[in-house]
Structure 1
Amino acid sequence: MLGLAFAMAGQPGGAPQGGAQAAFMNIVPLIFMFAIFYFLLIRPQQKKAKEHRALLDSLKKGDLVVTAAGIHGKVSGIDGDVVTLEIAPGINIKVGKGYIASLTKADK
């Protein structure tokens, strides 16, 4: 075990073993891992957030929506970040605009 520690210690005097090329080769896996995280996690999440912002900006009175809690309703008013939903005839609730999950189609 002690011999292994001396073998991994490098050259006496602390001289660099591979120079700049060895340092670059140590950074390549980190760059590769960041690229994988970017394309598999970060980019799709940013795209979905952008689509959700566009959905919230396009909300208007009369739209049929579903909230994040699964409540279906019709938008009866928008006041800044608060949306009033009519969930049954004459029954209105107020929800935060960010909790609107998606638009739905009219029942047939």
Structure 2
Amino acid sequence: MNSRLVLAALTAASLAPLASAQEAGGATGGIIGQLIFFVPLILIFYFLLIRPANQRQKKHRQMIEAVVRGDTVITSGGLIGKVVKVTEQELSVELADGVRVRVVRSMIADVRSKNDPAPAANDTKSS
């Protein structure tokens, strides 16, 4: 589900009752009517937008903390290499024979453990 589409729909839905109340000459239902409307709206925002983002962030943090020497990592810049040294804030990654770079842990996009099989490449072309 596209989050921008959901956000636009919820914004439009939240503004419609306010516009009709102004046209009618006053707010009907007062503060209780607004609370009945906004509490579910806040819950929808939480469960559709905030909670999934927090879960992804927690999973990424756990993945980065579990990196050990010998793992294959993919950086956010797209570089793939093998971890040769692990410190608290940085990793030393060997990209090729004799080519090592220091990478800040937060810039690791994916970790492939040395025990995990490499994903199969789909090189077949359909005509």
Instruction: Work out whether the TM-score is over 0.5.
Output: yes
Fraction of identical pairs, as percent: 30
5+ residue gaps, structure 1, are 11-16
For the residues of structure 1 that align with 2:117 and 2:104, how far apart are their CA atoms?
22
Opposite residue 31 of structure 1, the aligned amino acid is V
User: How far apart in 1 are the matches of 2:104 and 2:76?
Assistant: 10
| Cα deviation code 1:60-99 (max 9, x no counterpart) | 0000010111110100111211111000011000011000
Deviation at 1:9, TM superposition (A): 5.5
- What does residue 57 of structure 1 align with? 65
**Structure 2 stretches of 5 or more lacking a match?**
1-21, 121-127
Q: Is the 1:65–1:73 contact (alpha carbons within 8 Å) kept by the matching residues of 2?
A: yes
Q: Which shifted more, 24-33 or 82-91?
A: 24-33
The 3-state SS of whatever aligns with 1:70 is coil
Equivalent position of 2:5 in the other structure: none
Which entry has the higher C-alpha Rg, 1 or 2?
Answer: 1
Q: 1:54, 1:79 → 2: CA distance?
A: 16
Q: What is the RMSD computed on CA atoms of the aligned residues?
A: 2.3
Equivalence for 2:10: none
The amino acid that maps onto 1:67 is: T
Tell me which of 30, 34, 52 is aligned to 1:44: 52
Greater shift in the superposed pair: 85-94 or 98-107: 98-107
What does residue 14 of structure 1 align with?
none
The one-letter amino acid paired with 2:75 is T
Separation in 1 of the partners of 2:41 and 2:31? Answer: 17
Higher strand share: 1
Return structure 1 stretches of 4+ with deviation > 2 angstroms. Answer: 104-108
1:93 aligned partner: 101
**Which secondary structure does the structure 1 equivalent of 2:69 belong to?**
coil
